[in-house]
Chain A
Amino acid sequence: MAAPKKGRGPAGGQSRPGRALAIILIAMVALTGGMFWSGHTTPRLGIDLAGGTSITLKAKAEPGQESAVNETNMNTAVGIIERRVNGLGVSEAEVQTQGRENIIVNIPRGTNEKQAREQVGTTAQLYFRPVLTVADGAPPAAPSATPSGSASGTPSAKPSASSSTGASVGDKSATPTATATTQGRAVSEALKAPSPTPTATASSSAKPKPTGTPQATPSADDATAALQQKFATLNCLDPKQRAAAGQGVKPNEPTVACGEDNPGVWAKYLLGPAEVEGKDVDDAKGQFDQQRGMWIVTMDFTDEGSKKFQSITGKLSQQADPQNRFAIVLDGQVVSAPSVRQTLSASAEISGNFNQESAQDLGNILSYGALPLTFETQSVDTVTAALGGDQLEAGLIAGAIGLGLVIIYLVAYYRGLSLIAILSLGVSALLTYVIMALLGPAIGFALNLPAVCGAIVAIGITADSFIVYFERIRDELREGRTLRPAAERAWPRARRTILVSDFVSFLAAAVLFIVTVGKVQGFAFTLGLTTLLDIVVVFLFTKPIMTMLARTKFFGNGHPWSGLDPKRLGAKPPLRRTRRATAPAAADPKEA
């Protein structure tokens, strides 16, 4: 693929064309066998051909935070979006980054694409809200169970909380929540500093201050009553209500929300205004705590976040359960609600009954929420199965027609020689198909409409190579050579031309593939692939076949229908031919 090098004699083997042919035959058999063995006998079809929805999102960097759009953050975002989409019961939805700032979400047809579309585009909003009330997420059977006082006043400012011993109670077994049976949680989570420092908490613990606490202000309000009502009737077992619960609420207003404590176990929360925002979290990750032998989630806050967090944890740690809890709310849903035992600031950890997955998950959520990554929907492409099928059909017909026209032209112009061209095109087509089919499971390649276009256009590129070679041979024949030396002499120079021009094509495809997104990329990929295959085919198939056929009578003697008839080609009279013919093999084919 590099710059043309001075070949050492006729590559492809003037003497051993059989070897090259054997190599490509083995490769073809192996690839085809591999295709059948893998069970993927057809290329995976893109959304635009198979039907479905394809959504393109673009990350928008907030001013001053441009560096936030980076690979790590994009990958985290992909993980989150994947979770969201697949949480909708969509199977095989595919979320991937494209380029530096795009995320493509492909949702196969027949799924709830409308809901997916709504969910996918929205920005993840992460807030830390103080918990006012928790209740079993199940039916709103007993409205009385919700102590109205908890929201209207500042009830539980218990001095007892001032005891800093709470700091040591990080692990699950010792939590008072075990007794607070109202919320049906099997195991609770707790929030504390990574290294328990009781001294720190002691200082701020003395005075339980109701001032400025969110609960106090709206107490008399009608809104509170409405919220109470909402909380009372909320049924978290209903997915619809669940999804609607926390949507569209301003961060500075109290709200209701649902949370899944354990798989299938839902709780509902009445939450105060957001105290800390996702962007206040600097970093978070799920980690295994060697000492305690459990999974925890660690969080680091930004400077500003630390201040906010310190102030709110100071307040919360004074309260009794559940008001000492902190709900981590992502997109209106409570993902975790650890209790606070002490005042915390720059860093904290959440412990509870995490396993590796849930810990890392929460870590992801926290750090993702910490990013100023918002996404803008760039395009939504919904293709019905019928239209996709039509397009595929049209593409295939166009390809067949294109191929047919090329073959007709080649036959008309090159006669017998076109046999080689057609065989080569066939080999090329087979290889392209098989590789595309194999690339589906291997790298997630999906054949889309532009890729089909690319493959059709590539017919021309592939045929170009033969034309370059054939014309070279004919030029040599015109010089008065016989076919065998002509084919060998023509090859090194044709080879150089083919390599140089294919390199240019490949360069174009590669640059496009790297730089662009979406449809353009699919096209570029096919073009690059077929250009590479073109070289493989010309070197390992076309040239050796030519060498072999040159030994046959039909071609070698320049039968009128061979396309190599010296007379028709207007070769020079035999004067030169005799001179040349004496030393055909000696004629060094590599020069020029």
Chain B
Amino acid sequence: MSKLGDLGARLHRGEVGYDFIGNRKIWYGLSILITITAIVALAVRGLNMGIEFQGGAVFTTPKSEVSVSQAQEYAEEASGHDAIVQQLGNGSLRIQVGGLDTAQSDQVREELAKDMNVPEDKIAAELVGPSWGEQIATKAWTGLGIFMILVVIYLAIAFEWRMAIAALIALIHDLTITVGIYSLVGFEVTVGTVIGLLTILGYSLYDTVVVFDSLKEQTKDITKQTRFTYSELANRSINGTLVRSINTTVVALLPVAGLLFIGGGVLGAGMLNDISLSLFVGLAAGAYSSIFIATPLVADLKEREPAIKALKKRVLAKRASAAAKGEPLDAVDELSAEAAVVGPRAGRHGAQEHRG
């Protein structure tokens, strides 16, 4: 605890810190690798689309004497299609039959009730036409598209376009990873998954925005100083908000973990589980990308700007001359304690002096 607090303080002062920006190529490489894996997995294995996307029915029966294999037999006999049967935590059975239309599934439900000797109205049924999932998916894509456009506009106004672009790339990256993991592991994609995936939109950006906000603040008067390059300040922002990022991610993940645990533990499978699984994967990816991808990308984009380029030259020139004169390299080592205190506040001190 106190160690964490201490670490927070040292991170805040920049005494310790990881060179996220300097090592960005490693992380870009890793992300590209993951993304390619995800795309390949998607192309080769595809996604395990749930009933909602192919049409069919999910029946949940009350606790009964019927065994899983028996139930499967009944269901296959009644429907003429393959059936997947799972036993749920409370002893009830979950029977999935694909490839049915809603009218057919009605009959299957009736027959199941007869075969299993349970009243029909005790069997919960989710009957889905083949185009329902498609409709949900289409709307989800539309929503995703609209959201991306709006959020890019918003971020471009609230911050700047480079950050908007970087955030967008990070967002796409998160979604790709999440979908890739679904493809690799073979988790079932349901409407719940889609909901979870869409929620990642807001969350993934939430973390990113927190880092960007700090970055914006740190680099406010960047051209008025010659101690740090943009990349160095960006790195400080990441480190400075690291504790916050970790905390917010942990706190976000905890309830989701609760959902996942309960979804899996009590109800077997179902919407709770589906939503929380994709959230879990997406949140983790979102935290990663806000730190390792989004901010380094901003730094990369920013360093192309003439003013920032010139600044970098000035900073490096100053350091070179200082080195030539044999002065201590306090400013060169951007992680030194002294620099840490003054550095990020340089702009503000300047501002105060102007005012005062």
A and B associate in one complex: yes
- Assess the B341–A450 pair: CB atoms within 8 A: no
Q: Is B43 an interface residue (CB 8 A)?
A: no
Interface flag for A591 (CB, 8 Å)? yes
Closest to A383 in B: B124
**CB of A23 closer than 8 Å to a CB of B:** no
Which secondary structure characterizes the binding site on chain B? helix
Q: Nearest residue in A to B200 (C-beta to C-beta)?
A: A508
Most B C-beta atoms less than 10 A away, residue of A377, A398, A464, A497: A398
Is B205 part of the contact surface with A, judged by Cβ < 8 Å? yes
> Bound complex: CA of A382 vs CA of B275, how far in Å?
20
Question: Is residue B158 within 8 Å, beta carbon to beta carbon, of the partner chain?
Answer: yes
Q: Which of A393, A401, A460 contacts B252 (CB 8 A)?
A: A460
A523 to B139 CA separation, bound complex (whole angstroms)? 14
Residues A520 and B255 in contact in the complex (CB < 8 Å), given A378-B132, A394-B272, A501-B206: no
When C-beta atoms are compared, the residue in chain B nearest to A117 turns out to be: B106
Do the beta carbons of B272 and A453 come within 8 Å of each other? yes
The chain B residue sitting closest to A384, CB to CB, is B124
Nearest B residue to A388, CB-CB: B124
Query: What is the CB-to-nearest-CB distance from B166 to chain A, in angstroms, rounded to a whole number?
Result: 14
- Contact indicator B125/A591 (Cβ below 8 Å): no
B332 CB to closest chain A CB (Å) equals 23
Set of chain B residues within 8 Å of A376, measured between Cβ atoms: 129, 131
Partner of B276, one of A383, A387, A409, A453: A453
User: Which B residues lie within 8 Å of A206 (CB)?
Assistant: none
Are B199 and A471 in contact, CB atoms less than 8 angstroms apart? no
User: Is A508 in contact with B256, judged by CB distance below 8 angstroms?
Assistant: no
**B10 touches A (CB below 8 Å):** yes
> Does A508 contact B255, Cβ atoms closer than 8 Å?
no
CB 8 Å contact bits of A385-412 with B (1 = contact, 0 = none): 0111011011101110111111001101
Which residues of chain B are near A585, meaning CB under 8 Å?
none
Instruction: Identify the interface centre among A384, A463, A517: most chain B CB within 10 Å of its CB.
Output: A384
Q: Which residues of A contact B252 (CB under 8 A)?
A: 457, 460-461, 463-464
When C-beta atoms are compared, the residue in chain B nearest to A110 turns out to be: B121
- CB proximity of B325 to chain A, nearest CB, Å: 29
How many residues of chain A get a CB closer than 8 Å to chain B's CBs? Answer: 89
Which listed residue (B150, B247, B261) contacts A507, Cβ 8 A? B150
Cα–Cα, bound, A457→B10 (Å): 32
- Give A456 to B258 CA distance when docked, in angstroms: 9
**B209 neighbours in A (Cβ, 8 Å):** 497, 500-501, 504
Contact code string B228-255 (vs A, CB < 8 Å = 1, else 0):
0000000000001101100110111111
When distances are taken between beta carbons in the complex, the residues of chain B under 8 Å from A508 are 147, 151, 198-199, 201-202, 205
Please indicate the chain A residues that have their CB under 8 angstroms from the CB of B92 in the complex: 387
- Would A381 and B279 be within 8 Å (CB), given that A394-B272, A464-B252, A570-B6 are in contact? no
Q: If A464-B248, A511-B146, A516-B136 touch, does A398 touch B261 (CB 8 Å cutoff)? A: yes
Q: How far is the CB of B189 from chain A (nearest CB, A)?
A: 14
For residue B90, CB closer than 8 A to chain A, the reply is yes
Select A382's contact among B125, B147, B266, beta carbons within 8 Å.
B125
Which chain A residue lies CB-closest to B266?
A: A394
Residues of A within 8 A of B220 (CB): 592
Q: How far is the CA of A409 from the CA of B8 in the complex (A)?
A: 16
Note all chain A residues with C-beta closer than 8 A to B151: 504, 507-508
**Are A520 and B267 closer than 8 Å at their CB atoms?**
no
Q: Report whether A406 and B244 are in contact in the complex, using a CB–CB cutoff of 8 Å.
A: no
Q: Mark B128-167, 1 if CB is under 8 A from A, else 0.
A: 1101100110011011001100110011011000000000
Q: Is B71 an interface residue (CB 8 A)?
A: no
Say whether B122 faces chain A, with CB atoms less than 8 Å apart.
yes
Interface residues on B, range: 35 or more
Q: Max chain B CB contacts within 10 Å: which of A387, A393, A459?
A: A387
- Binary contact track A555-587/B, C-beta < 8 Å → 1, others 0: 000000000000011111000000000000000
A379 contacts the other chain (Cβ, under 8 Å)? Answer: yes
A159 to B130, CA, bound (A): 58
Give every chain B residue within 8 A of A381 (Cβ-Cβ): 125-127
Asked if A56 is an interface residue, CB under 8 A from chain B, the answer is yes
Distance in angstroms from B159 CB to nearest chain A CB is 8
Whether, in the assembled complex, B259 has its beta carbon less than 8 Å from a beta carbon of chain A, the answer is: yes
- Tell me, yes or no, whether B194 is within 8 Å of chain A by CB: yes
Interface presence of A4 (CB below 8 A): yes
* B9 and A409 within 8 A (CB): no
Asked whether, in the complex, the Cβ of A523 is within 8 Å of the Cβ of B199, the reply is yes
Question: Which residues of chain B are near A26, meaning CB under 8 Å?
Answer: none
A568 to B2, CA, bound (A): 6
B116 in contact (CB, < 8 A):
no
Closest to A102 in B: B135
State how many angstroms separate the Cβ of B246 from the closest Cβ of chain A: 10
A156 to chain B minimum Cβ distance, whole angstroms, is: 43
From residue A367, how far is it (CB to closest CB) to chain B in Å? 26
- Cα–Cα distance between A515 and B143 once the two chains are bound (Å): 6
Asked if B271 is at the interface of the complex by the 8 Å CB criterion, the answer is yes
Determine if B143 and A406 form an interchain contact, defined as CB atoms under 8 angstroms apart.
Answer: no
Q: Per-position contact with A for B184-217: 1 when CB-CB < 8 Å, else 0? A: 0000000110110011011101100110011001
- Cross-chain contact A409 with B135 (CB below 8 angstroms): no
Nearest chain B residue, comparing its CB with the CB of A4: B158
Shortest Cβ distance from residue B253 to the other chain A in the assembled complex, whole angstroms: 7
Question: Cβ of B136 and Cβ of A399 under 8 Å apart?
Answer: no
With both chains docked as a complex, state the minimum distance between the C-beta of B90 and any C-beta of chain A, in angstroms.
6
Q: Is A74's beta carbon under 8 Å from chain B?
A: no
A198 to B174, CA, bound (A): 75
Complex Cα distance A511/B178, Å? 21
A-B residue pairs, 3 tightest by C-beta: A570-B9, A402-B255, A460-B252
A sample of 18 more A-B contacts (CB under 8 A), given A413-B247, A518-B136, A570-B8, is A4-B158, A390-B90, A390-B266, A391-B272, A402-B255, A405-B254, A406-B251, A450-B195, A457-B252, A460-B248, A463-B251, A471-B8, A471-B243, A475-B12, A506-B202, A516-B139, A568-B5, A568-B6
Interface residues of A (CB under 8 A from B): 3-4, 48, 56, 58, 99, 102, 114, 117, 121, 376-384, 386-388, 390-391, 393-395, 397-399, 401-406, 409-410, 412-413, 449-450, 452-454, 456-457, 459-461, 463-464, 467-468, 471, 474-475, 478, 493, 496-497, 500-501, 503-509, 511-512, 514-520, 523-524, 527, 568-572, 591-592
Q: List 28 A-B contacts (CB under 8 A).
A: A380-B102, A380-B106, A380-B126, A382-B126, A402-B258, A449-B271, A450-B192, A457-B255, A457-B256, A460-B251, A460-B252, A463-B252, A464-B248, A471-B243, A478-B13, A503-B154, A505-B202, A505-B205, A505-B206, A507-B154, A511-B147, A515-B139, A527-B199, A527-B202, A568-B6, A569-B5, A570-B8, A591-B348
